[in-house]
Amino acid sequence: MVDGHQASNPVDGTRRADIAPGRSVLIVLKKDQRSGKLTRGIVKAILTRSATHPHGIKVRLESGDVGRVKEILD
């Protein structure tokens, strides 16, 4: 917390502005939401249209996998 405000984690994947094609990320696939298993990949396309999403911005990786960003690696 900073000055009474919750500090946002700049690499947590909830802000669309932090994500761009070519960035290395960890995502959770729909089928892995219960287990929390993460998949590493390179962003090919950003699918979420809104500026933020509480569960992570939805992306398509170069591998074709689709999921929500949990962590930005670079």
In single-letter form, the type of residue at position 20 comes to A
CATH number of 16-72: 2.30.30
> What pLDDT band is residue 22 in, cutting at 50, 70 and 90?
very high
> What pLDDT band is residue 31 in, cutting at 50, 70 and 90?
very high
Domain ranges of the chain: 16-72
- Quick one: tokens of 65? 């996998």
7 has pLDDT over 80: no
pLDDT of residue 2: 38
**pLDDT tens track for 37-61:** 999 999 999 999 999 999 999 999 9
Strands 38-46 and 58-61 turn out to be: antiparallel
pLDDT of residue 63: 98
